[in-house]
Amino acid sequence: MVIGVLALQGAFSEHLDVLAKLNIETRKVKKPEHLEGLAGLIIPGGESTTLGRLMTKYELFDPIKDLVQRGRLALFGTCAGMIIAASEVVGYDQPRLGVIDIAVRRNAYGRQIDSFEADLEVPAIGGPPVRAVFIRAPYIEMVGPGVEVLAEHDGHPVMARTERVLVASFHPELTTDYRVHEYFVQQIAGK
């Protein structure tokens, strides 16, 4: 199994480090041809407008969307990656994949100075609460049919999934708890 990490902007190196610690083979994705043979792709946090522009420039939107929709690629979007994966971004018109039926509010918790950490109960993962790092984080305002909410913070969904797409409004790559990444890998493996 090879998992790619979109390496155009944002926290991609941290995701690569976590996957390496889990003994998962990885590949940096910067061009459409880098998607070939991947079982999964992580779209990291960063700045969603910039990330969307770069994905457009390097012609990555259509190939990623096509692979996810045909069931040939699992996707995990964190923070800005969740915004890119969403079907709707409230109040913004920006490029997005639309591969998970959610409406996301950008910077829902405020500016950079308002960043925080919180413990989240994630029953699907089990064990103790997941330490979540929220940096200019979005949250989910609407969840469509077929989307399962996995975690909430202050009454707002912050982690959700479908059969092939996992999203989180926080940064699991910035902690030493690798259970969210392990969950993504297990979903790909069908366990």
Distance CA 166, CA 83 (A): 12
| Catalytic site includes residue 25 | no
Annotated catalytic residue, options 14, 153, 173, 181: 173
Rounded to whole angstroms, what are the CA distances from 184 to 69, 72, 73? 17, 15, 12
Torsion 167-3-49-71 (CA) sign: negative
Give Cα 101 to chain centroid, integer Å: 14
Q: Is 121 a catalytic residue?
A: no
H helix or E strand, kind and range, residue 63? helix 61-69
- 79 labelled catalytic: yes
SS3 87: strand
Q: Quick one: CA dihedral 20, 130, 84, 8, positive or negative?
A: negative
Q: Of 14, 15, 34, 79, which residue is the catalytic one? A: 79
Please list the active-site residues: 79, 171, 173
